[in-house]
């Protein structure tokens, strides 16, 4: 039977081989999830909340070992892995505290007497998750789904199989009933049959746009709800009145977060021509200051990419952009030595038709575009198939909120702040960046049936 390899991207060495589950084992885990769904839905939100709090406590207690495993499998600095676990703990506690309020029956305005709408769980939700935030992506889907009364069957990215197994084992040790949160180790070829299975009632995916199209098509054919958080090429607009020093620091952090491997990392910097030279200089300084090194060291700020093939793909995008006229300000050279490292890289004079303008760059590469004026800046920001997040840097926050933010085709707009997720706030985008929302009340209700109840 095939093995799923966990490879340390800082060294290139295989650290574990995980046996894929057989068809019989996958069937057993799906059957256990289906059986658990009927019991879990009958469990009160208050009792579900107690389980989430116990899970949060277990994550916090085992954070050091989990952080080391995440760092070893996908290469993010261990300080980032610890921060990711802290966010998971916050997320579980938030939905334990507020989930019951989201699930209260509603009485629609002008509804007849005796009418209420009751959100009821669907059952087994198949969660197809990526490697870049191997804990938070799971909890971001799981906490709202579980508090709503659903159960989660996880199909994680193969290169973080160890993290998937550890998380699900921890859930069981924390007291979650068997089948409420479990994982299967299988290739992507197993996904169509799982989605088609009548016991799976909903599908959530975080991944590429191509994967989203495929999985959404399968879910649609099976008439099952689908939530997809897909790719992004977030534009950060630097207006002429921005605090350039603060903007550059924020933008550098937003571009290099998670080794540059985040759907909501800053990707395209769209700068007004009056301040372009100064901003490029400040951004180059800020990015160059990041400490690249062993991700297991607490002093490291930037580790390797998660896989060597991802590094090669990123470098090819940089190379093609430079050949088409982009100016290489810093970085852009493949380093020697072991590991999938890529240096902080800044491309200026980027224009449409270059990979740096048209494609998602999943790594520590910043692309600066300099449109002729303010209107052209917003046109450039929207000239993308993606519509996940966007940010505006300006001293006039009132104008930004009232006039600039509505012009951006994005699911989330931040003003003088990096785009990010928060445990309490709906998260997601439009266009090729996905369907539906995670987190917040929409996330809790995403996999529920709004049942109309009419009592005479």
- Catalytic one of 73, 229, 359, 438: 229
Are 114 and 456 a contacting pair, CB within 8 Å? yes
Is residue 263 annotated as part of the catalytic site, yes or no? yes
Backbone CA torsion sign across 358, 273, 237, 405: negative
Helix (H, G, I), strand (E, B) or coil at 20: coil
377-380 own/partner pairs: CB under 8 Å, 24+ apart: 377/237, 377/239, 377/270, 377/271, 377/272, 378/237, 378/404, 378/407, 378/408, 380/235, 380/268, 380/270, 380/352
State phi, psi for 106 to the nearest 5 degrees: -110, 145
- Domains of the chain, start order: 3-230+433-454 (3.40.605.10), 234-425 (3.40.309.10)
Q: Which two tokens stand for residue 258?
A: 């998670």
Integer CA distances (angstroms), 45 to 70, 142, 149, 348, in order:
31, 14, 8, 52
Q: 126 near 119, Cβ under 8 Å?
A: no
Which DSSP state fits 436? S
Q: What whole-number distance in Å separates Cα of residue 447 and Cα of residue 203? A: 9
Please give the chain's pLDDT, 456 residues, in tens: 678 999 999 999 999 999 999 999 999 999 999 999 999 999 999 999 999 999 999 999 999 999 999 999 999 999 999 999 999 999 999 999 999 999 999 999 999 999 999 999 999 999 999 999 999 999 999 999 999 999 999 999 999 999 999 999 999 999 999 999 999 999 999 999 999 999 999 999 999 999 999 999 999 999 999 999 999 999 999 999 999 999 999 999 999 999 999 999 999 999 999 999 999 999 999 999 999 999 999 999 999 999 999 999 999 999 999 999 999 999 999 999 999 999 999 999 999 999 999 999 999 999 999 999 999 999 999 999 999 999 999 999 999 999 999 999 999 999 999 999 999 999 999 999 999 999 999 999 999 999 999 999
Helix pair angle (136-147, 45-61), 10° resolution? 160
Cα 4 from Cα 131, distance rounded (Å): 13
259 vs 453: CA distance, rounded Å: 49
Structure tokens at 331: 């970085």
The three-class DSSP label of residue 371 is coil
**Per-residue pLDDT at 1:** 60
* Cβ atoms 297, 78 nearer than 8 A: yes
**In the structure encoding, which two tokens stand for residue 233, read together?**
């090429």
88 is catalytic: no
Question: Three-class SS of residue 7?
Answer: strand
Look at the block and give the residue holding tokens 């266009």.
431
- Give the SS3 label for residue 170: helix
pTM for the model stands at: 0.96
Active-site option among 168, 251, 263, 360: 263
């Amino acid at each position: 039977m095939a093995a799923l390899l966990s490879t340390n991207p800082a060294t290139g060495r295989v650290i574990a081989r995980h046996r894929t589950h057989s068809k019989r084992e996958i069937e057993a885990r799906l059957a256990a999830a289906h059986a658990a769904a009927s019991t879990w839905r009958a469990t009160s939100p208050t009792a579900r909340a107690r389980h989430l709090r116990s899970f949060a406590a277990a994550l916090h207690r085992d954070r050091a070992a989990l952080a080391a495993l995440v760092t070893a499998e996908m290469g993010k600095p261990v300080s980032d892995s610890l921060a990711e676990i802290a966010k998971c703990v916050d997320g579980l506690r938030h939905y334990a505290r507020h989930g019951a309020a989201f699930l209260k029956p509603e009485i629609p305005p002008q509804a007849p007497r005796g009418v209420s709408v009751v959100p009821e769980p669907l059952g087994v939700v198949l969660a197809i998750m990526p490697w870049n935030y191997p804990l938070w992506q799971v909890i971001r889907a799981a906490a709202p789904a579980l508090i709503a009364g659903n159960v989660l069957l996880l199909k994680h990215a193969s290169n973080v199989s160890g993290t998937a197994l550890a998380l699900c084992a921890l859930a069981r040790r924390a007291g979650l009933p068997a089948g409420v949160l479990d994982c299967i180790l299988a290739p992507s070829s197993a996904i169509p049959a799982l989605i088609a299975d009548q016991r799976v009632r909903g599908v959530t995916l975080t991944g590429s746009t191509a994967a989203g199209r495929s999985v959404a098509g399968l879910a649609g054919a099976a008439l099952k709800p689908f939530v997809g958080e897909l790719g992004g090429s977030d534009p950060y607009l630097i207006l002429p009145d921005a605090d350039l020093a603060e903007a550059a620091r924020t933008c550098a952090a937003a571009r290099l977060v998670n080794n540059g491997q985040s759907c909501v990392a800053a990707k395209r910097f769209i700068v007004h021509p009056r301040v372009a030279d100064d901003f490029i200089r400040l951004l180059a300084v800020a990015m160059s200051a990041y400490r690249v090194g062993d991700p297991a060291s607490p002093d490291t700020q930037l580790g390797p990419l998660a896989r060597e093939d991802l590094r090669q793909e990123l470098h090819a995008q940089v190379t093609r952009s430079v050949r088409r006229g982009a100016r290489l300000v810093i970085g852009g050279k493949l380093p020697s030595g072991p590991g999938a490292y890529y240096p902080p890289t800044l491309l200026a004079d980027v224009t449409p038709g270059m990979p740096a303008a048209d494609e998602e760059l999943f790594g520590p590469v910043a692309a600066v575009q300099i449109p002729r004026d303010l209107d052209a800046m917003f046109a450039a920001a929207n000239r993308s198939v993606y519509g996940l997040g966007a940010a505006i840097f300006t001293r006039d926050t009132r104008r930004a909120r009232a006039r600039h933010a509505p012009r951006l085709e994005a699911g989330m707009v931040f003003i003088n702040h990096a785009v990010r997720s928060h445990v309490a706030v709906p998260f997601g985008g439009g266009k090729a960046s996905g369907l539906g929302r995670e987190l917040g009340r929409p996330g809790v209700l995403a996999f529920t049936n709004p049942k109309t109840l009419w009592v005479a």
